[in-house]
Amino acid sequence: MMDICWLCVGLAVIAVYLLTQFIRFIFADADLTLLWAARFGNKPESKLRGKVVWITGASSGIGEELSYQLAALGARLVLSARRENELERVKRTCLERSSLKDGDILVLPLDLSDRASHQEKTAAALKHFGDIDVLINNGGRTQRSLCVEADVDVYQALMELNYLGTVSVTKQVLPHMIRRGSGIIATVSSVAGFVGVPLATGYAASKHAVQGFFNSLRTELTDYPNITISTVCPGPVISSIVQNAFTEELGKPVATAGDQTHKMSTERCVYLTLVGLANHVKEMWIAEQPFLLFCYLWQYTPTLAWYLTNVLGKKRVQNFKAGVDADSAYFSKPKVKTT
C-alpha cells in the first residue's frame, strides 16, 4: 500500500513538472537551452565588457541594437555597413548611452559583396584595436517575392551578400582567432536557415548555406575549444529588414513593408543573443509563438511540420498578395490592398 502511495506521489510530481514546462513553453520566446542560460548562466556584462566586437550590418535593425547594448556593457566596437553616415549616427548614440570614449568605437564602412576589400578592412580593425574578440556576422538582406516571378540575378545577389560575403569576412578573422586560440564568431542566420519559408526561397537558401558552412566549420575547430562558433536564428523581429528586402527584380523596392508591430522587439532579440554569446551557446532559436513551436516541429517531427508549413505558408502568400506584412494575420482574414 505504501509503495502505491509513493508511486502516486511520484506521478503527481512528474505531472506537475510537465505541466509547468508546457506552460513555460507556451510563453517562451527562445529555445529552452537559451532561456536556461538567461536565468542561470553567465550575464553578458560579466563576459563581454571590454571585448572588441566587430559587427557587420551595424547601421540598422538588429545590428544597430547590438551596437547600443554592447556599448552599454562596455564592449569596444567596430561598426561596419555600407552607409558611413548611418554608422556615424550609431556611433554617436553609442557614446551617449555609455562611458565609452571616441577611440573605443571604430567606424569601418564595409560592403559584404566587395570581397576583395575584406582583407584590408580586417587589417584596419586589427591595427586600431590589436585584437578582435568577437565577430558578429549580421549584415545581409531578406527577400519578398514569389519564385516564379523572381529573376535569377536576385538569387545570385542574395548568395553573394548573405553567404559568400559572410564567409569571406569570417575567413579573414578566423586565422587571427586561431593564432590566439580564442574568440567568438557569431552569425545572425534566421529560422529560415532550417525551415522552408515561402516568398523567401533565395533568402532561405542563402541562410541554409550559412548554417551548413558554420556547422561544418565548428567541427573543424575541435582542436580549438576556446573558439566558439555560434549561429543565431531569429524569427520575425521588428527591424528595417523588410523595407530593404530584395523583390522580384534587382533595384526594385518593396511596395509596402506593412505593419511590423506584431513582431518580437529588437531589444529582446538582441538581449537574448548576447546571453547566448556570454554562455557560448552554439545555436539559438529566438522567436515568439507560434514560430518557436515551428522550430521544434521541424527539428523533431518534420512530417507534421511540413503539413503545418503548407497551411500557414499558403496564408503567408495570401498576406503578401493582399499587401499586408507576410507574417501578420495568420489567423484572421487580411484586408485587401487598396490602390
Cis bond before residue 109 (omega within 30° of 0): no
C-alpha span between 208 and 163 (Å, rounded): 9
- Known catalytic membership, residue 271: no
Catalytic residue among 68, 203, 224, 330: 203
Residue type present at position 225: P
Provide the Cα torsion 213, 108, 76, 37; round to 10°. -30
C-alpha span between 100 and 75 (Å, rounded): 8
C-alpha span between 64 and 176 (Å, rounded): 25
Q: Which residues pair with 284 in a beta bridge?
A: 232
C-alpha span between 97 and 262 (Å, rounded): 27
> 178-193: string of b/e by CB count within 10 Å (b at 16+)?
eeeeebbbbbbbbbbb
Distance linking the first and last C-alpha atoms of the chain: 75
Q: Which residues are catalytic?
A: 203
